[in-house]
Amino acid sequence: MKITCQSCSAKYTIADDKVRGKTVKIKCKKCGATIVAGPEAESPAEAGGGQEWLVNVADGDQRSLTPAAAADLYRQGSINDDTYAWREGMAEWLPLRSVPEIAAALDAGGEPAAEPSAPQPPPAEMDDLPTRMGPITDFAAPAPAAAAAGAG
C-alpha cells in the first residue's frame, strides 16, 4: 500500500500484509505528522457500499472512510467542504465535493451540522425567579453581649 503524508506530501510504502484488516498509525519521518493507514476494501460490498478513501479529518488525523462514513462525519460537523480526500492511484488530494462518490453521499445525507450558537436563554418561567423569591436579607447571629445578657 502506498500512502502520502497529508502535511508534507512525503510518500511511503507499507506491505499490504501488515495493514490487511487493521488500521495502522505511523509517524511521518519528515514532518512528524501522524498518518493513518486503514484496511483496503477487497470489494465494494465489503467496504460498506463503496471503496474507502483516505480523508484528512484534522491536522495529523487521516482516516480510511467509505463515502457513507464521510457523509456521517460531514453531518456531524467533523469535516466540511474544505476537507480533502485521496485514494491510491490519484495524483493529488481533492476536496470532498470534487470526488463524485463522496459528493453524492454528502448530497444524499443532508446538510452539515450547524455551527454552535450562543447558549439559549432560560425558559420564561425562570426569568422572574429572583422577584418571586423576594428580597434577600442578611441574617446575623446576635452579638455576644446580647446573648450573655439573655442567659442570666
**CA angle in degrees (0–180, nearest 5) for 33-101-47:** 70
Q: Which three cell numbers stand for residue 58?
A: 484534522
Strand pairing partners for 63?
55
Residue at 126 is within a domain = no
Domain count, the chain: 1
Determine the pLDDT at residue 80.
92
Residue at 20 is within a domain = yes
Determine the pLDDT at residue 47.
39
Determine the pLDDT at residue 108.
82
How confident is the prediction along the chain (152 residues), in pLDDT tens digits per residue? 778 887 788 888 887 777 777 777 888 888 888 888 765 433 343 434 458 899 998 888 888 899 989 999 999 999 999 999 998 888 899 999 999 999 998 888 655 555 555 566 655 555 555 565 566 666 666 666 655 565 55
Amino acid 14 reads: I
Residue at 137 is within a domain = no
Residue at 150 is within a domain = no
Residues 6+ apart with CB under 8 A from 28: 5, 7, 8, 10, 12, 34, 35
Residue at 130 is within a domain = no
Residue at 136 is within a domain = no
Q: How far is CA 51 from the centre of its chain?
A: 22
Q: Which three cell numbers stand for residue 134?
A: 423576594
State the residue range of the domain holding 55.
2-109
